[in-house]
Amino acid sequence: MKIALLGATGSIGLQTLDVVRNTLQTAEIVALTGYSSIQKLAEIANEFEPKMVCVADSAAAMRLKPFLKKPCEILTGADGLNACAAESTADIVVNALVGRVGLLPTLAAINAGKDVALANKETLVTAGQLIMELAGEKNVRIIPIDSEHSAIWQCLQGNENNKVEKIILTASGGPFRTWEKGKIATATANDALRHPSWSMGAKITIDSATLMNKGLELIEAMWLFGGTSYQILIHPQSIIHSMVQYSDGSVMAQLGLPDMRLPILYALSAPKRVKTNYPRLDFLTCGNLTFEEPDAERFPCLSLAQYAAKTGGTLPAVMNTINEWAVSRFLQEKIGFYDISELISHAFSAYTVKPLHSANDIIEAEQWAMEFVIK
């Protein structure tokens, strides 16, 4: 297997490399992309010896080149990302990019006939209709990496002819699950980054704290799996990663310790189960498995995302853009926790939703959203 890895220096990228290094040792990394972690990207490139590497710009390329032990093609910018995604020898593209930047490389990979193992949820949130239609035309697979979507995918296998009654997405509840609203309002970025279960990048961790992450995953699931009946449950132990209820009332669940290497490995090896030495779930020590309804009053981002999912069109792109901007401001301690949801809510009131026909519609929606937040 030959892999093009987009976002190699981020959390999912590094764990993908760990999977290749220690479990899928016959796999080959043929393309790598990184943004600002030049030293780390050089270390990765020296270990895996890809054909091409992409960085943000020419200045980053100049900084990278002296660190490389073996020559390889160094690309830059959006064109470089797209070239890595479409690399001719790659069998599969792992999109571990964060944010809106993940969309165009996904389209490039699909157009090149590559299967895409997708961790970049914003791609399906903003352009799910375009992505799934194009994937169908090109006869390529969009394979989920998110633990929740991987869980659903696993529960659906072998049940192609059975009617699904409901898909149940689980959420840890984040670091503020037990906090009162007044206390949440004063939360700092450092408070929000203390996730109780998962080790993730900063942006995804803040989205988990606001429950926006679960709203984004809802939209993503609707494009991946279809259907109209979804339920979101808070599951603090993060052991059951999601469930599928069938028409006879039976429920299938996928369980495991919170370790992103498992869904990454399955995305790259399915339907085969590859032996690992990862820690095992022990039912005698894991404690009780509990569930709660999400609290829309304390976590309004979830309701906003559910509204965007129902409305469709270009509204999810607007929501995603404003959320990215607001999260970055919150991480810089320039706005408060609830300013994130308030900005999105105000944008919804001001924006006229349009149908989604092409990537240009998404670009226009994102431009409107950026003008809205900076004016």
* Concatenated DSSP letters of 292-344: B---TTT-HHHHHHHHHHHH-TTHHHHHHHHHHHHHHHHHTTSS-HHHHHHHH
- Beta-carbon neighbour count of residue 81 at 10 Å? 26
Q: HSE on the CB side for 277, CA within 13 Å?
A: 5
Tell me the pLDDT tens digit for each residue of 219-271. 999 999 997 799 999 999 999 999 999 999 999 999 999 999 999 999 999 99
- The pLDDT of residue 206 is 94
* Mean pLDDT on 354-369: 94
Tokens of 16: 């993908």
Across the chain, mean pLDDT equals 94
- The pLDDT of residue 204 is 87
Nearest to 115 by CA among 130, 131, 97: 131
The burial of 115, by beta-carbon neighbours within 10 Å (0-12 exposed, 13-18 middle, 19 or more buried), is given as buried
Under a CB-based contact definition with an 8 Å cutoff, are residues 243 and 155 in contact? Answer: yes
Question: What are the angstrom distances between the C-alpha of 369 and each of 111, 256, 280?
Answer: 28, 38, 44
Nearest to 94 by CA among 203, 156, 20: 20
Percent of the chain whose pLDDT exceeds 90: 91
- The residue ranges of every structural domain in the chain are 2-144, 149-311, 312-375
Tell me the pLDDT tens digit for each residue of 135-172. 999 999 999 999 999 999 999 999 988 999 999 999 99
pLDDT band at 198 (very low <50, low <70, confident <90, very high): low
Tell me the pLDDT tens digit for each residue of 303-351. 999 999 999 999 999 999 999 999 999 999 999 999 999 999 999 999 9
Supply the CATH classification number for the domain 312-375.
Answer: 1.10.1740.10
The torsion angles phi and psi of 280, rounded to 5 degrees, stand at -100, 150
pLDDT at residue 36 tops 90: no
Q: Which CATH class is domain 2-144?
A: alpha beta
